[in-house]
Chain A
Amino acid sequence: MFVINYRKIFLSISAILVALSVFAIFFFGLNFGIDFKGGSITEVSYPTERPTLNQVEESINSLGLSESLIQPIGEDGFLVRTQSLKEEERLSLINALSLGKTVELKEERFNSIGPVVGEEMKSKAWVAIFTVIFAIILFIAFIFRHVSEPVSSWKYGLVAIVALIHDIIIPTGIFAFLGSMFIEAQIDVLFVTALLAILGFSINDTIVVFDRIRENLRINLQGHIREEFSKTVGKSLRQTFARSINTSMTTLFVLLALYFFGPETTKNFTLVLSIGLIAGTYSSIFLASPLLVVIERFSSKRN
């Protein structure tokens, strides 16, 4: 199998992508959404005529709200991001947006989250991510508990986690980069949900390949066939290759449909999922299994 033979190339690609992502995260920083840092989003539309951006900006600046940012949205609306607003502040913002009630205006959406809630959500997100990873390690160690030769079962779990971390660091890095250019590319609750879904997906993929390795090892053992571990892994990969690609393709079709035609609110979400899905498929084929071979080589050399 070419994946095993050229494993150094594939492993290097992963290493480079992860390094770039880590760099992006530290260099650009994460662009947190209001879910995590608190703040408010107000979306209004003007049924008759939209005032100019300048007019609205001037009108809002007089309110003295911190961090206010105004963007045109769609044909006839504005989106305003500010600190989290109390009801009176919201009313004065709406008043300012309608230029002192001189223009007809419709409130489409308002979302305000206090900073305390934001902090809570952040810690909740971390707990959720770590719990999912931990639960999955336990699960893998459990289902592979009978496999010990030539690579012990906990090492499968370890490799799966390396793949998982790879799969969530890459979308996060890409979003750190995108977030430095577009205000919409935010790390919000939906982003974390997407990461968690990626964890589920990626582990799915990895388990299917590992399952096949386990089965082939058993067949070899029963038939007293001596085969190099790298050959067994290569064979298993070849057998599951079509399935991995096909599953990812069908899921990707659905995701792309959602991205291009789906609701505006879940656009970022499907983008993260798509990136993660691609990273996850790559990692289960080109990272996890070659890594198993590397570990096996390393430990047999030591003995």
Chain B
Amino acid sequence: MWKIRIFAIVLLLAGFGVGYFNYSSEIDPNSQYPFSLGLDLSGGTHLVYQTDISKVDPFDVRDSMNTLQDVIERRVNLFGVSEPVVQIEEKGAFKKVEDRNYRLIVELPGVTDINQAVSMIGKTPLLEFKTERPEGTEKEAIIKALQEAQAVIEAGGSPQITSLLLQDPYFLPTELTGRYLERAQLTFDQNTSEPQVSLVFNKEGSDLFAEITKENIGKVVAIYLDGNPISTPVVRSEITGGRAEISGGFTPEEARELVRNLNFGALPVPIELLTTQTIGASLGEQAAVDGVQAGILGLIAVAIFMFIWYRLPGILAIISLGIYLAMMLALFKLIPVTLTAAGITGFILSIGMAVDANILIFERTKEELRAGRNTREAIREGFARAWLSIRDANISSIITAVILFWFGTSLIKGFALTFGLGVLISMISAITVTRTFLLAVSKEKHSKFTRFLFGTGLKF
């Protein structure tokens, strides 16, 4: 008996300890464990981009997605956004790689200027290498089409866009793009001390580059940035080492800028903005404050109800609910769980489930009391019988939460995670914390008074 009472006190103290941890890490601005708030609460921008993998070899898709993620991450970090999220989302895991759909998800907390955010990510340069288009009918056709279009524009009309018009008459695209770039460096020509950008390719890039230079000795290999030629060097010999120098008459600043853009921004695949979501900080803060306020009010209502209806066990349930809340908040901090408006709602909803376990136990205990058992036996028996219902009911909730998490968008995921976690923790807290407290205050002898304490407040 004393064992249980001591254990109850330990649980209570542990509850206070966890609560103190939450409190102290909240008032300390340099705490390692702050609550991490989602964009809808802290304000920020959520962008989803569609990637275009049609030009990528299926074997390289995964690689180029990793590179894309790296590049965007570096670019976002460069602009000093705190805790950005950059993710690649893969759709159609059962399909062939080339039929899958890859999306880039970027979350920028604190950035509410979408224009800035989009240009920060979207304006990254696309580096391409192009070879001379051979003389022939095709080249002439394109030049002719361009001239005709030019004439139409000069006459004040708008020309019809044909596929010919969209092609470069002088250069042909090659497979070599910024995707194969390992790094770019700022160097200076030893003779002229002119700034140069030196490129180092990875293994595949080196091979491609060697092949291109070999086939184009004496010809121009143009280097394009975002569709504009920035350098048009003439190839003197095959280059096998995977190194190339661009000397395009840069000023040192221009060269430095280009090196930075190439290193941090050479996108392996083109991307297109699909959805945008921005929420202002004040609106987000309002949502967070409202959510917490509503949670507290809801809790007070539940506490009053539990006290009136279940008397002493009701009070114990409120205490164990308090410990449950402290545990959940600590978990949110430690895991950490990103809290969104939907996430907070899921959490508050799980309070309802936590109370349910207690109610099941108390109702069962009361039945046993009515059958003439003393309080301790009634509690043990009530627990044993309620356990099956609690288990089955909670498992079905957890199944729902898992499926929601599996299928959901980030919004639903937030809800599913806090809800599922809440159901799981509440089950544990009901069968350990509530049980221990109840047994700690129970008696083997029963008097009218203990019957009153454990009885129902209102008659149905």
- Chain A contact residues, CB within 8 Å of chain B: 40, 43, 84, 86-87, 90-91, 106-114, 116-117, 120-121, 124, 127-128, 131-132, 135-136, 139, 143, 189-190, 192-193, 196-197, 199-201, 203-205, 207-208, 211-212, 215, 239-243, 246-247, 249-251, 253-258, 260-266, 269-270, 273
Hey, which chain B residues are within 8 Å of A251, CB to CB? 349, 352-353, 355-356
Asked if A112 and B276 sit within 8 Å, CB to CB, the answer is: yes
Chain B contact residue count (CB 8 A cutoff): 71
Docked complex Cα distance between A119 and B48 (Å):
15
Q: Are B400 and A243 in contact (CB under 8 A)?
A: no
- Which residues of chain A are within 8 angstroms of B392 by Cβ–Cβ distance? 143, 207-208, 211
Asked if B277 and A254 sit within 8 Å, CB to CB, the answer is: no
Which residues of chain B are near A90, meaning CB under 8 Å?
Answer: 114, 276
Whether B349 contacts A273 by the Cβ 8 Å rule is: yes
Known: A107-B278, A261-B297. A246 touches B401 (CB 8 A): no
Closest residue on chain A to residue B456 by CB atoms = A242
B409 within 8 A of A: yes
Chain B residue, CB-CB nearest to A262: B294
Main secondary structure, interface of B, reads helix
- Give residues 296-349 of B contacting A (CB, 8 Å): 297-299, 301-302, 305-306, 309, 341-342, 344-346, 348-349
B425 located at the interface, meaning its Cβ lies under 8 Å from any Cβ of chain A in the complex: no
| Interface presence of B14 (CB below 8 A) | no
B330 to chain A, nearest CB (A): 21
The answer to whether A208 and B115 touch (CB under 8 A), given A111-B278, A254-B349, is no
List of A residues within 8 angstroms of B393 by Cβ: 203-205, 207-208
| Per-residue interface assignment for chain B, residues 262 to 278, with 1 indicating a CB less than 8 Å from any chain A CB and 0 otherwise | 00000000000111111
Q: List 29 A-B contacts (CB under 8 A).
A: A43-B283, A91-B115, A112-B276, A114-B274, A121-B409, A139-B396, A190-B342, A190-B411, A192-B412, A193-B412, A200-B396, A200-B399, A200-B400, A203-B396, A204-B356, A207-B392, A208-B389, A212-B389, A243-B360, A253-B305, A254-B301, A254-B349, A262-B291, A262-B293, A262-B294, A264-B287, A266-B345, A269-B342, A270-B345
Q: Is the CB of B359 within 8 A of A247?
A: yes
Of the candidates B279, B294, B345, which one forms a contact with A108 in the assembled complex, judged by CB atoms under 8 Å apart?
B279
> Chain A residues with Cβ under 8 A from B397's Cβ?
200-201, 204
Which 6 A-B residue pairs are closest in the complex by CB-CB distance? Answer: A251-B352, A257-B298, A200-B400, A254-B298, A262-B294, A263-B287
Nearest-CB residue, chain A, relative to B48? A117
Assess the A257–B297 pair: CB atoms within 8 A. Answer: yes
Q: B122: shortest Cβ distance to chain A, in Å?
A: 8
> Measuring CB to CB, which residues of chain B are less than 8 angstroms from any residue of chain A?
40, 48, 91, 112, 114-115, 118, 273-280, 282-283, 286-288, 290-291, 293-295, 297-299, 301-302, 305-306, 309, 341-342, 344-346, 348-349, 351-353, 355-356, 359-360, 363, 367, 385, 388-389, 392-397, 399-401, 403-404, 407-409, 411-412, 415, 419, 460
Task: Chain B residues near A107: list those with CB within 8 A.
Answer: 112, 114, 278, 280
Closest chain A residue, CB of each to CB of B103: A117
- Residues in A with CB closer than 8 Å to B287 are 263-265
Closest to B396 in A: A203
Instruction: Tell whether, in the assembled complex, residue A116 and residue B351 are in contact, meaning their CB atoms are under 8 Å apart.
Output: no
**Nearest neighbor of A270 in chain B, beta-carbon distance:** B345
Residue in A211, A254, A261 whose CB lies within 8 Å of B389: A211
Cross-chain contact A262 with B290 (CB below 8 angstroms): yes
Q: Are B342 and A266 in contact (CB under 8 A)?
A: yes
Taken together as a complex, chains A and B put the C-alpha atoms of A105 and B111 apart, in Å, by: 17
Q: How far is the CA of A266 from the CA of B408 in the complex (A)?
A: 17
Most buried by B among A90, A132, A143: A132
A249 touches B305 (CB 8 A): yes
Cβ-neighbour of B396 out of A207, A242, A261 (below 8 A) = A207
Are the CB atoms of A263 and B290 closer together than 8 Å? yes
- The reply to whether B415 and A128 form a contact with Cβ atoms under 8 Å apart is no
In Å, the complex CA distance between A117 and B101 comes to 12
Distance in angstroms between the alpha carbons of A139 and B294 in the assembled complex: 34
A207 vs B286: C-alpha distance when bound (angstroms):
38
Contact pick for A189, options B352, B395, B409, CB 8 Å:
B409
**What would 5 more interface pairs be, CB under 8 Å, given A87-B114, A121-B409, A250-B356?**
A90-B276, A107-B112, A132-B400, A207-B393, A250-B355
Residues of A contacting B345 in the complex (Cβ-Cβ under 8 angstroms)? 258, 262, 266, 269-270
Nearest-CB residue, chain A, relative to B420: A200
Q: Contact check, A108 vs B282: say whether CB atoms are below 8 A apart.
A: yes
When the two chains form their complex, are residues A135 and B399 in contact, meaning their CB atoms are under 8 A apart?
yes
- In angstroms, Cα B45 to Cα A50, docked, is 25
Residues of A within 8 A of B274 (CB): 114, 116-117
B339 to chain A, nearest CB (A): 12
A84, A111, A120, A250: residue with the most chain B Cβ atoms closer than 10 Å: A250
